[in-house]
Amino acid sequence: MAAEAAVQAGATVMVADHMPSPARKLLIAGRGGLNLTHSEALPHFLKHYGSAGAHLAPHICAFPPEALIAWTEGLGQPCFIGSSGRVFPRAMKASPLLRAWMARLSALGVQLATRHRWLGFAADGAARFATPEGEQQIKASAIILALGGASWPRLGSDGAWPALLQAIATRPFAPSNMGFAIPWSDHLRQRFAGMPLKRIALSFDGATQRGEAMITEAGIEGGAVYALSALLRDALQRQHSVTLHLDLRPDVSLADLRARLAGRRGSLSLTNHLRRNAGLAPVGIALVQEALKAGAEQGDLAGLVKALPLQVTGCFPIARAISSAGGLSWAELDENLMLRRLPGVFACGEMLDWEAPTGGYLLQACFSTGRAAGLAAARYITRCS
C-alpha cells in the first residue's frame, strides 16, 4: 500500500521482500474470508484501537473504511457487508485481489525484489540486504519499513527487526487475538477438542463479548475469545491464572433459565435434563459436568450455565496468534510516520505499537498507515530534491 501511494505521488519505488513471494500474510488472512474492514461509524471504529487510537486516527480518517472498500472494488473485487457489519470481498479470499493488485503495481512501474532480507543500514544510510547473490546495498532517497509484527513468523514477519534498530525504542512483542490454555480433563479434551461453542458469551473483568469460540486440546480460541485477549493477557502477566466466565445461553435470562430447570428433572439424567430443559449442546453439557466435578454447586444449575467458570492458565504462543501487540514506539515517530532519529525513514503497519480485535480493524490500520507512509515518503523526496 505504501508502494502504491508513493509511486502514484511520483516516486520511483522498489519493494524488497525477504520471502520468495509477496503478501503471504494477506493470503493467510484470506483463508477465513479476508475481513477487510468494518462498516461501523468511524468514532466507534477508532475506539477498538485503545490507547493507540489517537495515533492511528489521522491516518485512518484520511483513508477510512469506505475508501478501502472503493479501492478494493477499483481492483475488480466487489465487496459486501455481512450481518455482523464486517466487510468482505465477494470472492471471500485474497488471491484474486492480490493478483489484480500486483498487476496494477507492475503497470505503475513498482519493482519487486524477492528474497531480499533487510540487514539494517550501512554507514552512509544505504539499506543493506541479504540476497541469494550475497549482500547488496541500495541507496534510496526515502525508505519505508513495513516489517510486521511477530505472529505467524513462517509467513515472513518474524519480529526480529528490533535488533536492527537498537537505538530506537520498541515495546516487546506479545501475542494478540490468540487462544488461551485451559487444563481440560482428559475426557473433555479427547471427546470435544475441535468442537465449536456457538451463540455464547464470555465475560472477564467487567467486559462481555458475544460470539463463538472453539474448544481445542490445549484450551479455547475463537472470535469471542480474541475480543477479550488483551484483557486476559495483561491479567496473566500479573498472576498465574485467571477465571473467564462462559454464558452458554446468553439469549435466555437467568430467571427464565431457573424456571425451566426448576422441578423438571424427574427421572431424567443430568445430561438429558440439560439438553431438554436448558437447550444445551453436548459440548455445553460436558462443560457443565466438568465444572460440577471440579466442585461447582449443583444446586444452581442455571447460574452455572449462565456463568460457567473456566480456569485460564496461559496464552497460546505468539507464533499461533492472529496478530501481535508491541512494536515501534509512537514517541519515535513524527506525525508523518517518519522516525525522528532517522530522517527519510518511515514505518507503517503492524510493526507499530498498536493492537486491535479481529473484525476488520487489523487490515484497515495496516492499509491506512501504509498509504500514509507512502504519501509522506513521496513528499519528503520532493522537498529534498
List the Cα angle 235/321/63 in 5-degree steps. 100
Residues 236 and 267 in one domain: yes
Residues 197 and 297 in one domain: yes
Residue 263: pLDDT over 80: no
Tell which of 278, 298, 315 closes a domain: 315
Cell 498472576, residue?
Answer: 239
> In this prediction, what percent of the chain has a pLDDT beyond 70?
100
Residues 156 and 293 in one domain: no
Residue 236: pLDDT over 80: yes
List the Cα angle 60/64/66 in 5-degree steps. 170
Residues 300 and 347 in one domain: no
Residues 50 and 99 in one domain: yes
Instruction: For the chain, give the mean pLDDT.
Output: 96
User: Other C-beta atoms within 10 Å of 189: how many?
Assistant: 16
Residue 8: predicted pLDDT: 98
Task: Provide the number of structural domains found in the chain.
Answer: 2
Q: What is the CATH number of the domain that holds 157?
A: 3.50.50.60
Domain hosting 70: range is 2-175+323-384
State mean pLDDT over 67-74. 98
Tell which of 294, 315, 336 closes a domain: 315
Residue 137: pLDDT over 90: yes
* Residues facing residue 121 across a β-bridge: 127
Residues 189 and 167 in one domain: no
Tell which of 315, 346, 365 closes a domain: 315
Residues 298 and 363 in one domain: no
Within the chain, where are the H helices?
A: 2-8, 24-29, 42-47, 53-62, 65-74, 95-108, 186-192, 223-227, 229-236, 254-261, 270-277, 282-293, 301-306, 361-384
Residues 67 and 142 in one domain: yes
Give pLDDT tens digits for 294-323.
887 777 899 999 999 999 999 999 999 999
Sign of CA dihedral 273, 277, 283, 288: negative
Q: Output the DSSP codes for 127-186.
A: EEEEETTEEEEE--S-EEE----SSSGGGS--S-GGGG-TTS-EEEEEEES--EE----H
The residues, ordered by sequence, that sit 6+ positions from 266 with a Cβ below 8 Å of its Cβ are none
Residue 282: predicted pLDDT: 97
